[in-house]
Amino acid sequence: MSQTSIIQDFINRKSFIELDGRARAQSLFDEGTWKELTGPFDRIESPWLPMQGITPQSDDGCIVIKGKIGGSPAVAIAFEGAFQGGSVGEVSGAKMTAALDLATKDSEAGKPTAAILLLETGGVRLQEANLGLAAVAEVISSILALRQHAPVITIVAGTVGCFGGMSLAAGVSSYTIMTREARLGLNGPEVIEQESGIDEFDASDRALIWAIHGGAQRVGMGLADALVEDDANKIAAAVRGYVLAGLPAMHRSQQVDLYRDRIAALDTSKQIDPATLRQQWGTGGGR
């Protein structure tokens, strides 16, 4: 590829990360096939935020869109990172669980319906604490139910990343797509620094953060499946590919022995070097 064509590609590229949650979800569907459900005009809001002097949002930061991808029925559920950090509340969690359950119902009735989760989230919304945590448990359960019939595809594109309870949702997905800008982990760097000290994790060390949580690392070590450029067309193509592929032979989160053995083989006397781990796990691993 010549330098001019690289520059042209860059100029023509339609960034996915620059889209909000709604536009991201819309961009995945076949043209003219999608419809948003329980959208902002339905005004289904968090009852708990106004009680705490926080302005709610009319979609509670969760966008549900039903339509077709590559001709197949699909539903996309996006958490909007710009609203309350993409946090999971009672209503946003209920929307996601309900959409997954309806996809399962359709799948069981002979109409396999894939789900695409667009996760930009810090995890449980602490203003709704225990209802958020319960919602995460319910989301995980509903993903596992749908996953028996149709693929569940998670996209973590950035820049919020996917942390907290919802990282388990990514963990039980059939496929996970990430960009280099995206991050995926249970605990964010700030939380680790706060809980275990700056010697454990320096949350200002961006190189360290991306070396551990970044998309290239997660895909490289086999805990995510595709590293895609920040390009809406390429991400949509990757999603179509997985919808078409259907279910994997075995889901990654069922492969307990493989990963238990890998953990047993770790030297924990010092911090683990992410690049070495990627080499060790990246080959011959996963499914």
Partner 1 sequence: MSMHVGLRGRAWFKALAGTDTAEAGDPNSVLATNAPLGKQTALFLCVVPNPKSRFPCVRDGQVGLEEAYALATHIRKAIAEDSDKPKHEKRPIIAVVDVKSQAYGRREETAGIFFAAAAAADAYASARMAGHPVISLVAGQAFSGGFLTHGYQANRILAFDDAGIVIHAMHKEAAAIITRRSVAELEKLGHEIAPMSYDVRDYAKLGLLFKLLHAEDPQNPTAAEITEVKQALAEAIDDARAGKTDLSSHLESDAAKKTRKAGIAARNALEAQWQTA
Shorter beta-carbon distance to partner 1: residue 175 or 231 = 175
The CA distance from 76 to 100, in Å, is 9
Distances (CA, A) of 199 to 195, 231, 270: 11, 37, 12
Q: Tell whether residue 287 is a contact of partner 1 (CB under 8 A).
A: no
Question: C-beta of 212: minimal distance to partner 1 in Å?
Answer: 5
Q: Which of residues 4-33 bind partner 1 (CB under 8 A)?
A: none
Q: Which amino acid is at 10?
A: F
247 contacts partner 1 (rule: CB under 8 A): no
In the bound state with partner 1, the residue whose beta carbon lies nearer, of 2 and 52, is: 52
Phi, psi of 272 (to 5 degrees): -90, 130
By CB under 8 A, name the one of 82, 129, 198, 244 that touches partner 1.
129
- The reply to whether 145 sits near partner 1 by the rule CB under 8 A is yes
Q: Does 115 bind partner 1 (CB under 8 A)?
A: no
Q: How far apart are CA 103 and CA 92, in angstroms?
A: 17
Exposed / middle / buried, residue 175 (Cβ in 10 Å: 0-12, 13-18, 19+): buried
Q: Does position 93 bind partner 1 by CB under 8 A?
A: yes
Q: Which is nearer to partner 1, 17 or 277 (CB)?
A: 277
The CB-of-113 to partner 1 minimum distance in angstroms stands at 10
* E strands, 7-161, in order: 35-37, 62-69, 72-79, 114-118, 152-156
Q: Give residues 158-187 in contact with partner 1 (rule: CB under 8 A).
A: 164-165, 167-172, 184-187
